[in-house]
Structure 1
Amino acid sequence: MTRQIFQLKVSLSDVTPTVWRRVLVPGGYTLDRLHRVFQYVMGWRDCHLHSFDVDGVQYGAPDPDGELVLRDELDARLDAVVGKGSRFRYTYDFGDWWEHDVIVEDAFSADPDERYPVCVDGEWACPPEDVGGPFGYRVFLAALADPGHPDHELMRSWNGDRAFDQARFDAGRATTLVRRLA
Structure 2
Amino acid sequence: MSYVDRIARLRITLNDTKPPIWRTVEVPLTTSLKGLHEVIQAAMPFEDYHLFDFRVGEQRYPIPVPQFDGPETRHAKLTKLGALIEKGFSEFVYTYDFGDNWQHTSKVKEITQADPTMPYPRLVGGERRAPPEDVGGTWGFEEFVEAMTKPRHPEKKAMLAWYGGPFDPETMDVEAIEAAMAKLAKRRAIGRAAFAKGRPHGG
Deviation at 1:114, TM superposition (A): 1.3
Counterpart residue number, 1:153: 157
Counterpart residue number, 1:77: 80
TM-score w.r.t. structure 1 length?
0.92
Q: Can you list the C-alpha shifts for 1:70-110, whole angstroms capped at 9, x where unaligned?
A: 31111100000125871110000000000001000000111
Normalized per residue, the structure richer in helix is 2
Counterpart residue number, 1:36: 38
Structure whose CA Rg is larger: 2
In 2, Cα distance between the equivalents of 1:42 and 1:96? 15
In 1, Cα distance between the equivalents of 2:110 and 2:51? 28
Instruction: Classify the secondary structure of the residue corresponding to 1:74.
Output: helix
- What letter is aligned with 1:87? E
Counterpart residue number, 1:181: 184
Q: How does 1:95-174 map to 2 (within 5 A)?
A: 95-160=99-164, 162-171=165-174, 173-174=176-177
Counterpart residue number, 2:25: 23
TM-score w.r.t. structure 2 length?
0.83
Q: Can you list the C-alpha shifts for 1:45-73, whole angstroms capped at 9, x where unaligned?
A: 00001000011210011113225763111
- Mind listing any 5+ residue stretches in structure 1 that lack a counterpart? none
* 8 Å contact from structure 2 (residues 56, 93) kept in 1: yes
Instruction: Classify the secondary structure of the residue corresponding to 2:37.
Output: helix
Give the fraction of aligned pairs with identical amino acids, expressed as a percent. Answer: 38
In 2, Cα distance between the equivalents of 1:157 and 1:63? 35
Deviation at 1:171, TM superposition (A): 4.1
Instruction: Evaluate the alpha carbon distance shift between residue 177 and residue 49 of structure 1 in structure 2; reply closer, same or farther with a 3 A threshold.
Output: same
In 2, Cα distance between the equivalents of 1:10 and 1:97? 16
Counterpart residue number, 2:200: none
Give the RMSD, CA atoms, in angstroms: 1.9
* 8 Å contact from structure 1 (residues 122, 171) kept in 2: no
Q: Can you list the C-alpha shifts for 1:141-176, whole angstroms capped at 9, x where unaligned?
A: 11122243332222121112x010111115464233
